[in-house]
Amino acid sequence: MATQTKPVLHGYFRSSCSWRVRIAFALKGIEYDQVPVNLIKDGGQQLTEQYKALNPMQQVPAVEIDGITLSQSLAVIQYIDETRPGPRLLPADPKKRAQVRMISDLIASGIQPLQNLYVIQKIGAEKLQWAQHFIDRGFQALEPILKQTAGKYCVGDEISMADICLVPQVFNAERFKVDVGQYPTIKRLNQTLVEIEAFKVSHPSCQPDTPADLRA
C-alpha cells in the first residue's frame, strides 16, 4: 500500500502525540513532511477554522496519508504498522499485543490528556501540582505493569507502540519535575530507549519548529 506521496504530519515540536508519530515514522523508515501547528502562537493555530477542517478536535497531530486524514496518534501508529514494511510496532503474539495496547492506552488515555496544554491552561496557578499528581498516579500504576511485561523494552525484547508512548511521557514527567527515580523500571526503559536513533531524531529539541533556545 505504499504510495507515491509522502505522508504529511501536522504537529507541534513538544506535543507528546506528535512525537509518538515521529518515532513511529522513524522506526519504520518512512519519509514524511512536517507542517508546524503552533499551539501557543496566535492564540493557538490549532483553533483556526482551516485546521479544524483537518482535525475537528483541534488537537495535534493530524496526518494526511494514503488519501485519508487520521487524527489520533495510536490510530496513526497502528495504521502505518498495518500498511508499511519494517519492524512491527505491535507484536504478532495476541497476549503481547494486548499488553502493548494496554500500556499505550494507560499512557495515552490515563496520563497524558490530564496534563496536556489545553487542560493545564484551564487549571491556572495549580498547574504544576496538578500535572505532578496525575503523572505520579499514572506511573504508580504503570511501574508494576512494566515489571511484569518488560524485557529490554516495555513488552519483551522488541520495540513496540508501548515504548513509543513511554518516552514522550517520561519527557513530560521530567518537564513537570516528577522524580522518575521513584519508578526504576520506567527509568531503566527510558534510558535505554532514548539512546536509539529513531527516538533521538524525533526528539522535540531537533524539529523544524523547535524554538532556537530549545534546540539541542
Report the alpha-carbon distance of residue 141 to residue 178 in Å, rounded. Answer: 15
Give yes or no for residue 202 having a pLDDT over 50.
Answer: yes
- Domain 9-87, second-level architecture: 3-Layer(aba) Sandwich (3.40)
Q: Please tell me the distance from the alpha carbon of residue 162 to that of residue 103, in angstroms, as a whole number.
A: 6
As a CATH number, domain 94-199 is 1.20.1050.10
Quick one: pLDDT band at residue 132, thresholds 50, 70, 90? very high
- Distance between CA 215 and CA 208 in Å, rounded? 10
Q: What percent of the chain has pLDDT over 70?
A: 98
More confident position, 4 or 142: 142
Q: How confident is the model at residue 4 (pLDDT cuts 50, 70, 90)?
A: low
Rounded mean pLDDT, 155-164: 98
**In the numeric block, which cell numbers belong to residue 4?**
507515491
pLDDT 10s digits, 16-75: 999 999 999 999 999 999 999 988 888 888 988 989 999 899 999 999 999 999 999 999
pLDDT band at residue 190, thresholds of 50, 70 and 90?
very high
The ranges assigned to domains in the chain are 9-87, 94-199
Residue 130 has a pLDDT of 93
Return mean pLDDT, the chain. Answer: 94
Can you give the pTM of this predicted structure?
Answer: 0.94
Average pLDDT over residues 147-156: 98
State yes or no: pLDDT of 1 exceeds 70: no
CB atoms within 10 A of CB 198: 20
| 72-122 residue pLDDT tens | 999 999 999 999 999 999 999 999 999 999 999 999 999 998 888 888 888
Residues 6 or more apart from 157 whose CB is under 8 A from it?
Answer: 151
Helix (H) or strand (E) holding 35: strand 33-36
User: By CB neighbour count within 10 A (0-12 exposed, 13-18 middle, 19+ buried), where does 132 fall?
Assistant: middle
